[in-house]
Amino acid sequence: MTKIPMYKIINKTISRAMHDSNNVICFGLGVTDPKGVFGTTLSLEKKYGSHRVFDVPASENALTGLAIGASLNSSIPILTHQRLDFALLSMDQIINGAAKWLYMFGGKLNVPITIRMIVGRGWGQGPTHSQNLQSVFSHIPGLKVVSASTPDNVANLLYSSIFDPNPVIFLEHRWLHNSMGIFPKKLKKNELGKCKILKKGKDITLISLSYMTLECIEASKLLKKFKIDAEIVDLSTVSPLDKRNIINSLKKTRRALVADTSNNICGISSTIASIINQNISNLKNKVEIVSLPFCPEPTSHQLVKYFYNDRYTIVNKVLNMFRIDKKIQRDKSNKPDVPGKWFKGPF
């Protein structure tokens, strides 16, 4: 089957959902512009009409209220933000409205909205355009939080999110938009709340989400040279967490490293480490965490290149866990805001 970029898979998934249900609507800043939110919403207005696919004024809080109201009147809204940071203006509607509605009305009124938020970094965006706040949203009861990692999995995750009866925060790292994968012949629902075992192994479990899943995949290849067989667990859904598969993997490997795109203070990585420690009594090492420093992202290229983690960070942490006195050096030829020479995407 022909591989296509993740942004096209997302586009085809939204289109399929709109085809499957006339109640699905798609709106947000830039949804109908020539670039179509990194290509993910291109041609949808032409295909389904401006009454179902439309651009909006810059008023994030009001837009979320509109989505909630529409969902209570039979619509299935997909609200798109070109940056997670912009969605912060709508936290009142998300937390005090969408997340609470089902509980406040005795389980009789659902709010089936999907809020897409683009995360990640690029071209020196700095502190206010690069935040990964999955931990913030996963702390709120009533919200489901999805973190897309691989192009082969994103279609089923997004399709499941759109048709889930609950509000879903759907996070997409823009460095993943140009990774290549296959659009499935048949889309699945009910895929939320499940980890994906991307690679089986016996020596250590690498638990990851978002862009760090790709780095874990590459790290596992480097670890083979040291005869370390890593199992890779992609979280896929941050809330609810699939604790069972995480624990089952640790029962086998008894070593864990958690790779997060955010910092570990009150973070997903710390929560996972706590879950492991509470359920696995015979760990061979303490749970290691690869996460960001507890400060905003710098804008300067000279600072950014030391700020983020990659496959080399992961490998060196694992080698230390196995008491192997060696270090893998980072590829210095990569630009600070480009993940690798393979990257062909915008920003």
CATH number for 314: 3.40.50.920
Are the CB atoms for 89 and 61 separated by under 8 Å? yes
Q: Classify strands 196-199 and 53-54 as parallel, antiparallel or unpaired.
A: unpaired
Residue 62 lies in a domain: yes
End residue of a domain, out of 146, 181, 216: 181
Residue 185's contacts (CB-CB under 8 Å, 6 or more residues apart) are none
Residue 45 lies in a domain: yes
End residue of a domain, out of 134, 155, 181: 181
Residue 291 lies in a domain: yes
As a residue count, the chain comes to: 347
| 90: CATH | 3.40.50.970
Q: Check if 19 is active-site.
A: no
Residue span of the structural domain in which 55 resides? 4-181
Least Cα distance to 289 among 307, 272, 277 occurs for 272
**82-88-91 Cα angle (round to 5):** 125
If one counts every other C-beta atom within 10 angstroms of the C-beta of residue 21, the result is 13
Which pLDDT does position 140 carry in this prediction? 97
Q: Does 202 share its domain with 294?
A: yes
Give tens-digit pLDDT for 28-73. Answer: 999 999 999 999 999 999 999 999 999 999 999 999 999 999 999 9
> From CA 16, how far away is CA 37, in angstroms rounded?
18
Catalytic residue among 129, 177, 191, 231: 129
Rounded to whole angstroms, what are the CA distances from 160 to 13, 153, 253? 10, 11, 31
Q: Does 174 share its domain with 239?
A: no
Amino acid at 342: W
Q: Does 16 share its domain with 62?
A: yes
Q: Check if 129 is active-site.
A: yes
What pTM was computed for the model?
0.95
> From CA 250, how far away is CA 291, in angstroms rounded?
20
Catalytic residue among 60, 191, 215, 231: 60
Q: Classify strands 237-239 and 144-147 as parallel, antiparallel or unpaired.
A: antiparallel
Give tens-digit pLDDT for 103-128. Answer: 999 999 999 999 999 998 766 678 88
Low-confidence ranges of the chain (pLDDT < 50): none
Least Cα distance to 17 among 176, 194, 170 occurs for 170
Which pLDDT does position 305 carry in this prediction? 79
